[in-house]
Amino acid sequence: MPECLDDYIAEDNPVRVIDAFVGELDMTELGFEGATPAATGRPAYHPATLLKVYIYGYLNRIQSSRRLERECQRNVELMWLTGRLAPDFKTIADFRRDNGKGIRNVCRRFVVLCRELKLFSQAIVAVDSSKFKAVNSRDRNFTPGKIDKRQQQIEESIQRYLDALETADRTQPAEIEGKTERLQEKIKTLRDQMRRMDRIKDRLTREPDAQLSLTDPDARSMMSQA
């Protein structure tokens, strides 16, 4: 990363969270095309680079591939995030078409983690209507149903964004288009959280009733009549 460009990205800039998050992902395991070099060589852009562009675009509501292309060429945050690479709009649009499911899953995971860490709260809003009592609170009890419910609204928001991109790419011509508290510790925490959730997911697969309570191993979520 050129030092002169890094000087423009403060330690508390949210793009450092995106960079840290994508850096922890196994792109091959997630099924992104181009993560493993083909026999004829590596593609022009690694999927991790394009994924960073999409996460940034989602958070900043940049709703067309042409606008994302323009921002990659002039936006210092995106230039830093991509290592000065500037994919054209067709490359960006093709990546979405070829990896739509993976983009949705990764963006959803990113939003959930940032919500837990209270990052980007002005852009990330999720409704959780579950009710729990006693010390085994909702943040300490996991079931597949609860996880699905908490993620549903997030995924719908991401899908709306991808749909808007698809519409804009078909109908719109080329267009032009803050700060948080210091993030170094939160970046480390984000990485730890990603690994923790992977371990919880693995443990859930081995639980006979698909529930895992961290405070009290015997505690189980009960249906609310309210």
Q: What does the domain layout of the chain look like in residue ranges?
A: 3-126+153-201
Question: Is the confidence at residue 7, as pLDDT, over 70?
Answer: yes
For the chain, what is the radius of gyration of the CA atoms? 19
User: pLDDT tens-digit profile of 159-198?
Assistant: 888 888 888 888 765 443 434 445 567 777 778 888 877 7
HSE-up (13 A, CA, CB side) for residue 107: 31
87 neighbors 45 (Cβ within 8 angstroms): yes
- pLDDT tens per residue across span 29-66: 888 876 665 555 555 789 999 999 999 998 888 889 99
**Dihedral angle computed from the Cα positions of residues 211, 212, 215 and 221, in that order, rounded to the nearest 10 degrees:** -10
CA distance 154 to 86: 28
pTM: 0.67
**At 26, phi and psi to the nearest 5?**
-95, 100
Buried b (16+ CB within 10 A) or exposed e, 77-107: bbbbbbeebbbbbebbbebbeebeebbbbbb
Residue 178: per-residue pLDDT: 38
